[in-house]
Chain A
Amino acid sequence: MVLGVFVWGSVQIDGFSSGPSVRAMLVIASLLALASLGQTLVILVGGLDLAVPGYITVGAVATAELAGTKGWPLWAVAVSVVGVCAFAGGVCGAICHYLRVQSLVVTLGMSSVLIGGVIVATKASNLGVPPQDISKWTFVMGETLDVPVPPVVCLAVGVVVGSWLFLAHTPAGRRLYATGANPRAAEGILIRTGRVWITTFAFGAAATGLAGMLIASYSSGASVTIGDPYFYSGLAAVLVGGTALGSARGDFLRTVLGALILTALTTILSGMGLGEGDSRILFGLAIIVVVLAYGRDRRLRDRI
């Protein structure tokens, strides 16, 4: 799939497969994938996180404002971002699980709270520019230890490996899959599904917040709407990658592949003169097709 899209792009657009263009796409895809790590985990456990734009905004604005303007050290910013996002995510997970409410609605509200909170905290003023240290991470022509690959790409690869180890080879990862696959059976073998939900939402939120910091550095600034495109494309990347809602199939690698496909597609579409609207339409259709193929519900007559 990825190869196919890539070849199509090379044929359609001059310079598509040139070094700088590939690097740029890799950086964008890596950011997209990192921003969707949390979403992937939450979907695996059986939820849906619409608070992603909120977490990204928190991370991005904190980077621009606290690190850029106020000159906090980066680690302090990272710690506070993780703290805020993890708390918000944990609250969402707890409400969803204990009150049996759809995670969609709760996280939608949480997103609004976070973004509103950010606006209030910054008094909607102009934001600073992220410091140099972090901008190096997402610099397209950047190098990692003298290897000509931008650090953020290496980070994404590292996270793929790490998440694979976690999901496939640790007890916590196994319990996450089990909870997503069949919550009743999971409770039957005495897995504390409430705890799994809360930690997954909290961890996902924290990871997304950190991705927001990188996004700020990539865009050399932050605004309160910075998270939206990453949320939409990220969710599409998760679903197009084949991680199906409510069935606990999939992993982060698939999300990365989905992100690569979507980034390449978007690049091609914009090269062909099509806009943001068209790629959204395409994303929507892609989701429908993929989900129709993977994740359909039971029929009503089988439930009597």
Chain B
Amino acid sequence: MSLQVQGAGGGLTADVGSRIDVRGVTKSFGATRALSGVDLEVRAGEVHTVMGENGCGKSTLVKILSAVHRPDTGTISVDGRTVQQMRSPSHARRIGIATVFQEVLTVPGRTIFENIWIGARTTHLDKAERRQRTTNILTRLLGEPVDVDAPIESLPLSGRQACCVARSLVADPAVLILDESTSALDVATRDRLFEIVHEMTGNGASVLFISHRMDEVFEISDVLTVLRAGRTVASRLPASSTSPDELVRHMSGVEANAERRSSRPAGEVVLRASALRLLPDGAPIDFELRAGELVGLAGLEGQGQDAFLKALRGAPALGGGRVRRTGECDGVVLDKPSVARRHGVAYVPRERRHEGMFEQLAIGENFGLPRLAQDTVGGLIQQRRTFRRLRRQSEPLRLKMGDPRDLITTLSGGNQQKVILARALADVPKVLLLNDPTRGIDQNAKNDLYAVFDDLSVQGVAVVMLSSDVNEIVQLVDRVLVFRDQSVSAELTGDEVTRSNIVAAYFGSVSDGARDTLEGTGDAEQNLASGA
């Protein structure tokens, strides 16, 4: 089917019917349900923003609309026609949907011009016309003329993202999807993009906008839709009459805050980070961790919390700074993961499949790997010793398993995660760093893990937990650092740790009580722009 919709074509403005209509779309990845019934209606000539916290399904929705993924059930209509199967991104582009992703997806080694016309159907334009369009669009976006034959690497990050935007714009899309694509743009380029967006919608095209910056959202949106846990919870709220607080309420849900763990007095400082910069020109972060403390790291995907946690385990941060083990280790600088591990810092990686476990190995082998020397007698590994250690570790974790000789993949996700955790705990750490430890596991296993973390902190272990799930942070931690734009945007302690405060800090609209440690967002943006 070829219904090349010219977005700029007039006449469409009169038609206020829906441009894109998504009804009851569901999508699962293996056992995880990413979308469980999403509705979305985007009309002609509007800027429609989809909001929601981590894991609410907005990325999956965008990927379905740009045909990277196919929905399991539900219907998608474009201009009133049901699209049976969008087979691939090229198909989506053909029917007038162009997407700019959060990641800067340029192809290295090619020129700017080539990068912009990748995947475009150019049969009706000759090269001179294409060059003219490229120059026009890029000049508008970047504010100054660029040599379109220069290699793409000659542009800074913001410029490269502008090329991705231009790649979508040259196709004259009827619907432009901006999936957090503004986060890589500097402020000036972003403002110029917004001008173009206004012009496009004025001509009848639609823009589906996804952003984690509250100010941006209100600056540009006409209509808002909120997703939570894979469902649409608020549809087509008019931006002009919706307050940020209201939005935060929708995103975080109305249910009462989960019951908070009672906090206990913390012990001596065991880990101290000073002037840690996640970017070369980033805002410095100072951080102290005390024994028996449970600290949460929160933020939307990719805001720096991951790099911060890794810096604590000894992977040097991009912008420098020091992490020291204090207390009995007396100020050892943790500049390598191996040094950190020797000094009682254990790390549980994020992606089980990619970074944590060995799918082809047995449960016992997965557990035993880092401490093989302990189980080796006369050059041979004594499996029984490994198994004994595993049993000892697995009891408090309520790790349910059959034979430790079975492959780890025979376990459920929750139990796999417990094996990985048991592996880290076998080192008897003083500091436990957890990188989203409960992602993709069932509620019972989560509760088991919460109990273990709680126990550990009672025993005086300092626990730092990065989490993409606000609920568990509220439930568990004594203190939370919220990250935004590669630095700490808010630090919430005690009663300040509430869902709405955290979600508000995600999007940069923090209620007054928690504003003390907020770094100026303007600064952060400057940093982003100049650092790129």
Contacts and interface: CB of A to CB of B under 8 A. Distances in A.
Given A171-B372, A171-B373, A174-B369, A181 B355 contact: no
B150 interface: no
B359 interface: yes
Contacts of A170: 376, 379-381
Contacts of A174: 365, 368-369, 372, 381
A175 to B, nearest CB: 8
Contacts of B373: 171
A169 B69 contact: no
Interface in A145-187: 165, 169-171, 174-175, 177-178, 181-182, 184-186
Interface in A264-304: 301, 304
Contacts of B380: 165, 169-170
Interface in B368-389: 368-370, 372-373, 376, 379-381, 383
Interface residues of B, number: 29
Contacts of A188: 347, 349, 355-356
Contact of A178 (B338, B341, B355, B361): B361
Interface in B313-367: 337-338, 341, 347, 349, 354-361, 365
A47 to B, nearest CB: 16
Nearest to B103: A304
B94 interface: no
A17 B361 CA distance: 39
Given A170-B376, A171-B373, A185-B349, A190 B361 contact: no
Main secondary structure of the interface of A (DSSP, over half): helix
Interface residues of A, number: 22
Contact of B358 (A165, A178, A301): A178
A247 interface: yes
A19 B272 CA distance: 75
B354 A185 contact: yes
A301 B68 contact: yes
Given A170-B380, A182-B357, A190 B370 contact: yes
Contacts of A247: 360
B63 interface: yes
Given A169-B381, A171-B381, A182 B63 contact: no
A80 to B, nearest CB: 28
Contacts of A189: 369-370, 423
B483 interface: no
Interface string B67-89: 01100000000000000000000
B101 interface: yes
Given A169-B380, A171-B372, A171-B381, A248 B360 contact: yes
A181 B376 contact: no
A187 to B, nearest CB: 9
Contact of A185 (B69, B101, B355): B355
A304 B63 CA distance: 9
Nearest to B379: A170
Contacts of A185: 349, 354-358
A189 B371 CA distance: 10
A97 interface: no
Given A170-B380, A178-B358, A247-B360, A304 B68 contact: yes
9 contacts: A165-B380, A174-B372, A181-B358, A181-B359, A181-B361, A191-B369, A247-B360, A249-B360, A304-B101
Given A175-B369, A182-B354, A301-B68, 7 more contacts: A169-B380, A171-B372, A177-B360, A177-B365, A182-B355, A247-B360, A248-B360
